[in-house]
A and B are shown apart, each in its own frame.
Chain A
Amino acid sequence: MRISVKKVRAITAMKFQTLLNNTGVMLGPILALGFVFVIKNIMPDVDVNNEGVSFSTNAFALSFGIIFNIAIAGISMSSAPLAEEKEKNTLRVLMTSSVNGLEYLIGTLLPPFLLLILVNLLMIPVSGSSFGNIPFGTFFIMTTAASLISLIIGYIIGIFSKNQAQASLLSMPITLLLTSVPAVKLFQEDLSAILDYTYTGVLTNYVNGIVSESGYIWNATDISVLIGWLAAALGIFVYAYKKNGLDR
């Protein structure tokens, strides 16, 4: 399948406009930033590390915000617009206007992807952390990979949905599961080890690590979990795309 850079650029520019005008989808990142701001301001500023139990308000706010942004906003940013395009038959128009599936996917992936990255970065100052205390490279790689996984999961949901209502219904259990990870890890030690194998679990461990005294060190488990989720999401996406196509 050949890709025209000009067409991808045109789709990206158009999708930026429609994304910024889509209140339902834009509510996700705005709420993520808003919640982090509220958490930071209403919760007492605590930073404890006693007998293996550690809690930091900044870390909790940052991990909550990042996971909210990546899991909720990320999934809805790709699933909702794809479902909307199918519902309103605009995708059919595009597909019959000399645009192929790959051009459409790349063009529509870029705007939410860049927006997620921007909000992830904004989350650092809003949560009360500082860029000086956070290793930027690791943070960028970690959050960017997780954002990409969420967007691909969103596309899978979009492919299997016929309309926006169906997309929201399918997204809900997945986003609930993914966003509850930081809280469950904090209060349910038994489940904590299992949740380490989710990509939002890796993110939670990462944020807790960077605010702890020892800092975060890349480890094989976290890298494998991220790569595994990315590969699995891509695999399911390719299968769904080949089975259903985009506009069916």
Chain B
Amino acid sequence: MTFVSLDQVMKEEAHRIILKNVDLVIGESSHIGIKMSNEESVMLFDLITGRIPPSSGHIYRETESIFSQMKDEGLYDSLTVQSYLKFFKELADYPDPLEESIAAFSLLDVWGTKIKKLTDDQKRRVSLFRMSLFSPDVLLIENPLDNLSGEGIELYLKAVEHVRSGITATVITSNSIEDLLLLTSEIYRYNQAAGLEKTDLFAEETDDILMQKKESEAFKPNRVFKVTCKLADKTIFFSPDEIDYIESVNSVSHLRINEEYFPTDLTMNDLEEKLHTFGFFRCHRSYLVNLQRVSELISYSKNSYTLILKGHPNVKVPLSRTRLEEMKQLLDF
């Protein structure tokens, strides 16, 4: 069942186009992630919830049960977690006792604590708990993992899984594609020229296929290699050691160097083959990471692993479960 669909939606504000060419279908149990800015996110959520009409295009809503959580939203600081959630329980007419869900949101220790004394991690879970009381069909969440600690991310992912146990569809927006990889299964990037572009997320290959592939590949040392990027009328050469990681977006490989992205004509497979000897490792079908830059490996849940890069604590590169063993062997840990 489709809850909401957006067809060529455009919205302008103060003579400035904020959203353009937006096509999106939010179906039952879909988990959509969109990389976009805060301003675009606020506008998109307002359009989906019906708070504002689109400037052009159409939005079809099959449900009114749409709830949103913005990054800057506040809670009633003087209330305790219990009284805050009890208040929303009454508003939502939620039938079950709140105590049954405390564990899923990991809030038992702060149940009687005033909200002003909670950490950002805990506040984010209180907000999620609040929305879950309304048994929403569609849940819109902006930047939920932003500024959360490692433990906070782990507990938030657990809470999101609990909320998704029914037919609830989630649309999560973030500035970080890595956060979206942890939270969603269908990822889009927004840009004004093309609207929402789907990001490549291939199905993971099994361990056997991977092994066979590796065995068949001959080891070819490369002493000198530069990755080339063509930008307008110039060609830029990058040494492998300059690259943090390489990401595939819409079948185009992008080199991440410091805070910038540079597209290259080489495919991920070509790059993997050529950069293997320079310490690059295919940690995910869409990611090739420079192992010299990796500083931490974090496991937020049983099946999700994330690599943190040296000097960039906020950059999270996903590591597939199937590739964990291979990485362990490579780094001998």
* A17 near B79: Cβ-Cβ < 8 Å: yes
Closest B residue by C-beta to A22: B78
Q: Please tell me if A7 contacts chain B, counting CB pairs below 8 Å.
A: yes
* A10 near B90: Cβ-Cβ < 8 Å: yes
Tell me the chain B residues, 72-118 only, with Cβ under 8 Å from chain A: 72-76, 78-79, 83, 87-88, 90-93
* A89 near B79: Cβ-Cβ < 8 Å: no
| Bound Cα distance from A7 to B88, whole angstroms | 9
* B72 near A21: Cβ-Cβ < 8 Å: no
Pick the residue among B51, B78, B83, B91 that contacts A97 (CB under 8 A). B91
Q: Which residues of chain A have C-beta atoms less than 8 A from B83's C-beta?
A: 14, 17
| Bound Cα distance from A75 to B257, whole angstroms | 56
* B134 near A98: Cβ-Cβ < 8 Å: yes
21 contacts between A and B (CB under 8 A): A6-B93, A7-B91, A9-B90, A10-B91, A11-B91, A14-B87, A17-B79, A17-B83, A18-B79, A21-B78, A89-B70, A89-B74, A90-B75, A90-B76, A92-B73, A93-B74, A93-B75, A93-B130, A96-B49, A97-B88, A99-B91
Q: Please tell me if A243 contacts chain B, counting CB pairs below 8 Å.
A: no
* B72 near A89: Cβ-Cβ < 8 Å: yes
Q: Please tell me if B305 contacts chain A, counting CB pairs below 8 Å.
A: no
| Bound Cα distance from A68 to B68, whole angstroms | 41
Q: Mark A76-106, 1 if CB is under 8 A from B, else 0.
A: 0000000000001110110011110000000
Measured CB to CB, the closest approach of chain A to B210, in angstroms, equals: 46
Q: Please tell me if A174 contacts chain B, counting CB pairs below 8 Å.
A: no
Pick the residue among A10, A14, A98 that contacts B79 (CB under 8 A). A14
Q: Which residues of chain B have C-beta atoms less than 8 A from A21's C-beta?
A: 78
Measured CB to CB, the closest approach of chain A to B129, in angstroms, equals: 13
A18 and B73 in contact, given A10-B90, A10-B91, A99-B91 (Cβ under 8 angstroms): no
* B134 near A90: Cβ-Cβ < 8 Å: no
Do most interface residues of chain A lie in helix, strand or loop, or is the interface mixed? Answer: helix
* A7 near B90: Cβ-Cβ < 8 Å: yes
Q: Please tell me if A13 contacts chain B, counting CB pairs below 8 Å.
A: yes
Q: Which residues of chain A have C-beta atoms less than 8 A from B51's C-beta?
A: 96
Minimum-distance CB pairs A-B, first 9: A88-B74, A21-B78, A10-B90, A14-B87, A89-B73, A90-B74, A89-B74, A18-B78, A93-B73
Tell me the chain A residues, 3-56 only, with Cβ under 8 Å from chain B: 6-7, 9-11, 13-14, 17-18, 21-22
* A96 near B68: Cβ-Cβ < 8 Å: yes
Measured CB to CB, the closest approach of chain A to B74, in angstroms, equals: 3
| Bound Cα distance from A14 to B76, whole angstroms | 9
Measured CB to CB, the closest approach of chain A to B68, in angstroms, equals: 6
Tell me the chain A residues, 83-141 only, with Cβ under 8 Å from chain B: 88-90, 92-93, 96-99
